[in-house]
Chain A
Amino acid sequence: MPNRARFVIHISLLLLITLFARPSSALSPSTAEYPYSLHAPEVSREGYFVLNAQAQPSISVQSLWVDHATSAEFSHITRSYPWLGRGVADFQQITLTGFTSGDHYFRLRNAAGDVLSNVVHVRVDHYPLWQALGLFFAGLTVFILLVVLIIANHRTASRTKISQSKGANHE
């Protein structure tokens, strides 16, 4: 039995080593041709999300911009966001916010306008309003109940306190 256990461990270790030994480019072939690989969540339900960037080891330090477009072809760049600091050397991520529902595409570029990364796609899908308002009114109901409860009890308690002290005065 111990021999078989050892065999299983060896095989699994071997598998693990081969897994790690694969070049990173083999894991995501689409990003290999760019100096940076950009990552983003597929869906955001709140309209804000974090973009992550990783640089290939040989990339020199440079300022970066994130381009935003509503189509994958980037035929019309709606807006550019400056990456904080000296690009990936300082910060690996950027938090963008305030997007409306729909498809949003992002990619990195440098000051000269050269495209430096793959295109990432984030689908912003805000919660339906009925769901939000449902929770809102559920919360409101419980809250009003609590406030009424506290005020009513506070009044009763102060009244009994007053009558108690009055009673004490009479005695």
Chain B
Amino acid sequence: MNKATDFALDSTLGLSLVAIFGVLWIAFGWYLGRKNKSHEDFALAGRNVGFALAAATAMATWVTSNTTLVAPQLTYQLGVWGMVGYSFAALGLILFAPLAARIKHLMPHGYTSGDFIRLRFGRAAWWVFMVISVVYAMGWLVSLGMAGGILLQALSGLDYHIGMSAILLICVGYTLFGGLRAVIATDFIQALIIIVGVVGIAWFLIDTVSLETIHTELSTDHPQLLDLLFPAAVMFLFNNIFFGLGEIFHSNVWWSRALAFKGKVAFKAFMLGGLLWLPIPIVTGFIALAAPQLGIFPPTADMVGPMVAAEVLGKVGAIVVFIVVFSALASSLDSLLAATSDLVTRDFYHKKLRPAASDQQLLRVNRYCIAGLGVLTWLLCLPQIATLGALLNFAGAFVASTIFPIVFGLYQRRLTGGYAALAMGAGTFAGLVSYFAIGFYVAALVSCVVSALICAVGLWRSRTLFNWQDMQERA
């Protein structure tokens, strides 16, 4: 038992790994950033990303700390349905594929999801949408920053504040130098690291404790985990799917990618990214099912994945987990920093404050925003308040309300801004009420259903038709 007590890695090794990766990523970001001449280069990688990098970035960004930590956690709590249900979040990427093609067609010169909402639905809906976006982005950023600090601490005993500051500094560093190009290129390498690491751990696990012994242990001592009619897990399933759909459909992380991908690549890239992502949560989740067999009962459920890996593979395992988790955190953190600062630069600075800003000014403001967001996230992560990380839990109520307004907005000319704003506002409100009144497993579902009903009323009552030409706004 002592192995689990002493940290799997000593903190010097942990810090050295962070430093090596930090220097490599930042140097790589600087190298890629040399070509960035205009704001469009920096924010959208010149709108010319090829298929391989596009598919890899779609997949890697969706492999967040959530896939490496929450998938095992949900599997530990909800069993087989937990991991299968989590893998259905891939549907978000797959269903976004047609939307991405449509986005690219409707607004070939657009920059952000905020652009779309403003041009399609007007100011009122834009404000509601911005509140939802900011709540979600900050919740995700803070939970990633905190997860970084907590994980590095759990694995190597490195002080929370050092780990958290290091990961933020590194991500801000290379995003600042290289823009979206650096984000996408690092995502490609991070995707490879994550998959190889995860497959290696699962392989070793099956080799050490066979699938049969894991299954026997579960069926005798934890039968609920193998139950296919596990009520809480069955309830959680579609709520989780709508949460994932809402996250992808509204977030500028995905819109800026759709706009950055070359011509017809967007559809194919999201489709392939989703299909590649689909089996990963089952592999990472399965790792948690071996915990009872190994006598590992974690203090908190989210630590189960790393603990099992470290137990099975010893020191090598701990290094692998360290690198995989670090890559997973970085591949989401950089994307979120870039996409959120695009949103602030484009939607607030350019469209509200300085419509006449020059390209070079925008580029500079975008960089300030990345640094500013990094500092803000750092300040919010500093006190390590668990409730801030928990913000992401009820983000489902916020983001799921955007699903139907965005789908109808992209395809139907009849839906007006007033109804879209009402759908998002009322959906969020209903989702939050049901979160606190009933439970976490209905928040996204209720939010999505309420906003869908309001959109339906809007389509039925509306007499005006939106002119698609109004989407064509020159930068």
Direct contact of A and B (CB under 8 A): yes
- Residues on A lying within 8 angstroms of B by beta carbon are 45-48, 50, 63, 66, 79, 81-86, 90-100, 126-129, 131-133, 135-136, 138-140, 142-143, 145-147, 149-151, 153-154, 156-158, 161
CB-CB nearest in chain A for B267: A154
| Interchain CA distance A99-B452 in the complex, whole Å | 37
CA distance A89 to B295 in the complex (A): 19
Beta-carbon contact of A82 and B77 below 8 Å: no
CA distance A146 to B248 in the complex (A): 15
Q: What would 25 A/B residue contacts be, using CB atoms closer than 8 Å?
A: A50-B300, A81-B295, A86-B5, A93-B299, A93-B300, A95-B298, A98-B221, A100-B224, A126-B224, A126-B230, A127-B232, A131-B231, A133-B234, A135-B235, A135-B442, A136-B235, A139-B241, A142-B448, A145-B452, A146-B403, A150-B95, A150-B99, A150-B407, A153-B411, A154-B98
Q: Are B232 and A154 within 8 A (Cβ)?
A: no
Contact residues on B (Cβ < 8 Å of other chain), bracket: 35 or more
B222 contacts the other chain (CB 8 A): yes
Residue pair A46, B299 in contact (C-beta under 8 Å)? no
Shortest CB distance A146–B (Å)? 7
A135–B299 touching, CB < 8 Å = no
Contact of B445 with A by CB under 8 A: yes
Is the pair A94, B231 in contact by a Cβ cutoff of 8 Å?
A: no
Q: Are B98 and A97 in contact (CB under 8 A)?
A: no
Which residue of A48, A139, A156 has the most chain B CB atoms within 10 A of its CB atom?
A: A139
B351 at the interface (CB under 8 A from A): no
- Closest partner residue, chain A, to B102 (CB atom): A157
Given the known A-B contacts A139-B242, A147-B95, are A84 and B296 also in contact in the complex, defined by CB atoms under 8 Å?
Answer: yes
Known: A84-B4, A84-B298. Contact between A142 and B232, CB under 8 A?
no
From residue B8, how far is it (CB to closest CB) to chain A in Å? 12
**From residue B434, how far is it (CB to closest CB) to chain A in Å?**
11
Measured CB to CB, the closest approach of chain A to B333, in angstroms, equals 27
A94 & B299 in contact (Cβ 8 Å cutoff): yes
Query: Do the beta carbons of A135 and B78 come within 8 Å of each other?
Result: no
**Which chain A residue lies CB-closest to B301?**
A95
Q: Which residue from A50, A82, A100, A146 sits with its C-beta under 8 Å from B295?
A: A82
- Contact indicator B237/A139 (Cβ below 8 Å): yes
B297 touches which one: A82, A99, A153 (CB < 8 A)?
A: A82
Task: A149 to B412: give the CA distance in the assembly, Å.
Answer: 11
CB-nearest residue of chain A to B73: A95
Residues facing A in B441-474 (CB within 8 A) are 441-442, 445, 448-449, 452
If A46-B78, A84-B4, A157-B105 touch, does A136 touch B297 (CB 8 Å cutoff)?
A: no
B77 and A97 within 8 A (CB): yes
Give CA–CA (A138, B105) in the complex, Å: 33
Q: Does B218 contact A (CB under 8 A)?
A: yes
Q: Check if B445 sits within 8 Å of A97, measured CB to CB.
A: no
Quote the shortest CB–CB distance from B103 to chain A (angstroms).
11
Q: Does B396 reach chain A (CB closer than 8 Å)?
A: no
Q: How far is the CB of A80 from chain B (nearest CB, A)?
A: 10
Quick check: B445 and A129 within 8 Å, CB to CB? no
Residue of B nearest to A154 (CB): B98
Partner of B222, one of A63, A84, A92, A98: A98
Contact with A along B98-138 (1 / 0, CB 8 A): 11011001000000000000000000000000000000000
The answer to whether A95 and B232 touch across the interface, beta carbons within 8 angstroms, is no
Contacts of B239 in A (CB 8 A): 135, 139
For the complex, what is the distance from the CA of A129 to the CA of B231, rounded to whole Å? Answer: 6
B binding-site residues for A, Cβ under 8 Å: 1, 4-5, 76-79, 95, 98-99, 101-102, 105, 218, 221-225, 229-232, 234-235, 237-239, 241-242, 245, 292, 295-301, 304, 403-404, 407, 410-412, 441-442, 445, 448-449, 452
Residues of A contacting B231 with CB < 8 Å?
126-129, 131-132
4 cross-chain pairs, A with B, having the tightest CB-CB distances, nearest first: A139-B238, A98-B222, A153-B411, A132-B231
Question: Whole-angstrom distance between the alpha carbons of A110 and B223 in the complex?
Answer: 27
Decide: B445 and A138 in contact? CB cutoff 8 A. Answer: yes
In the bound complex, CA of A150 to CA of B78 (Å): 31
In the bound complex, do residue B234 and residue A132 qualify as a contact, i.e. CB atoms below 8 Å apart? Answer: yes
Closest to A47 in B: B224
The answer to whether B4 and A47 have CB atoms under 8 Å apart is no
Given the complex of chains A and B, what is the CA–CA distance between A147 and B92 in angstroms? 11
Alpha-carbon separation in the docked complex, A99 to B441 (Å): 19
Whether the pair A90, B300 counts as a contact (CB closer than 8 A) is: no
Point out the residues of chain B lying under 8 angstroms from A149, CB to CB: 407
CA distance A100 to B225 in the complex (A): 9
Q: How far is the CA of A62 from the CA of B329 in the complex (A)?
A: 35
Q: Which of chain A's residues have a CB closer than 8 A to the CB of B445?
A: 135, 138-139, 142
Given contacts A93-B300, A131-B235, A149-B407, 13 further A-B contacts (CB under 8 A): A48-B78, A82-B295, A83-B297, A84-B1, A84-B5, A84-B297, A85-B5, A131-B231, A142-B242, A143-B241, A150-B98, A153-B410, A154-B411
CA distance A83 to B442 in the complex (A): 34
B406 to chain A, nearest CB (A): 11
Please name all residues of chain B whose beta carbon is closer than 8 Å to the beta carbon of A154 when the two chains form the complex. 98, 101-102, 411
Inside 8 A of B77's CB, which chain A residues have their CB?
46, 48, 97
- A residues in contact with B99, CB < 8 Å: 150
Q: In the bound complex, what is the Cα–Cα distance between A48 and B78 (angstroms)?
A: 8
Report yes or no: A90 in contact with B5, Cβ–Cβ below 8 A. yes
Please state if A135 and B407 are interface contacts (CB–CB under 8 Å): no
- Contact B223 A100, beta carbon cutoff 8 Å: yes
Chain B residues whose C-beta falls within 8 Å of the C-beta of A48 in the assembled complex: 76-78, 301
| CA distance in complex: A161, B229 (Å) | 45
Q: Shortest Cβ distance from B196 into chain A, in angstroms?
A: 29
A126-B98 CB under 8 A given contacts A84-B299, A92-B299, A135-B441? no
* Contact call B1/A63, Cβ cutoff below 8 A: yes
Determine whether the beta carbon of B295 is less than 8 Å from that of A97: no
Cα–Cα, bound, A128→B229 (Å):
10
**Nearest CB to that of B221 among chain A residues?**
A79
Contacts of A79 in B (CB 8 A): 221
